[in-house]
Amino acid sequence: MTGLVPRDDFKRLQGRMNRLMEDIGISDAEARYMPEIRKIQERMNQLIDDFMTESPAVAGPIGDVMKPLADIKETDDEVVVTVDLPGMDKGDVEISVAEDLLEIRAERKTETEEKGEEFYRKERSFARFERSLKLPAEVKADDAKATLKDGVLTVHLPKVEVTTRKKVKIE
């Protein structure tokens, strides 16, 4: 996702908008349309913040880092995390676990070259995924197991303390 404007640029733009409004005298609380303008500005700020936090890619100095979609499922004895990593092989993925935090990093570089009688084509692509997930329980990192099949990573993490659910009868 290239072409995204970094969060800092949006914040600077918001600051400029606020100063401009003050410079031209719109900041006067008695201005006729001030409440409506403030509502619009607050809504725009909220939309920008929502977009930046929910965006699957965050522009960075090195390139785009994608934040893959993830599902976390907790059972009585384990936590199962499923993450979409399209096009990745198991050698491209690095997983680390510490207590109740799971970090997943994946990076893929490809290069294709095609030579013809009257043409030469060389293409490169790069994809990087990073995701840190707070787990709902502390897990045994040494007993974790992971599989990657058809671009879907599944990580099984046994809990440190196995919890059993007990039904409570209402008196």
Cα separation, 106 vs 67, in Å, equals 10
pLDDT band at 2 (very low <50, low <70, confident <90, very high): very low
pLDDT band at 94 (very low <50, low <70, confident <90, very high): very high
The C-alpha atoms of residue 120 and residue 18 are separated, in whole angstroms, by 53
The C-alpha atoms of residue 129 and residue 151 are separated, in whole angstroms, by: 12
Mean pLDDT check: name the lowest of 59-63, 82-86, 93-97. Answer: 59-63
Q: What is the predicted pLDDT for the residue at 111?
A: 86
Alpha-carbon span 1 to 48, nearest angstrom: 16
- CA atoms of 4 and 13, how far apart (whole Å): 14
So what's the pLDDT on residue 1?
44
Please provide the size of the chain in residues: 171
Q: What is the pLDDT of residues 95-138, one digit of tens each?
A: 999 877 899 999 888 888 888 888 888 888 878 888 889 988 88
Residue 76 predicted with pLDDT over 60: yes
- Residue 120 burial (CB count, 10 A): 8
Query: Could you read off the pLDDT of 11-49 as tens digits, one per residue?
Result: 777 777 777 777 776 655 445 666 777 788 888 877 776
Q: Three-state SS string across the chain, please?
A: CCCCCCHHHHHHHHHHHHHHHHHCCCCCCCCCCHHHHHHHHHHHHHHHHHHHHHCCEEECCCCEEECCCEEEEECCCEEEEEEECCCCCHHHEEEEEECCEEEEEEEEEEEEEEECCCCEEEEEEEEEEEEEEECCCCECHHHCEEEEECCEEEEEEEECCCCCCCCCCCC
Q: What is the domain class of 66-158 according to CATH?
A: mainly beta
Q: Give 61-74 pLDDT, tens digit per residue.
A: 345 678 888 999 99
Q: What is the pLDDT of residue 35?
A: 72
Nearest to 60 by CA among 125, 4, 103: 4
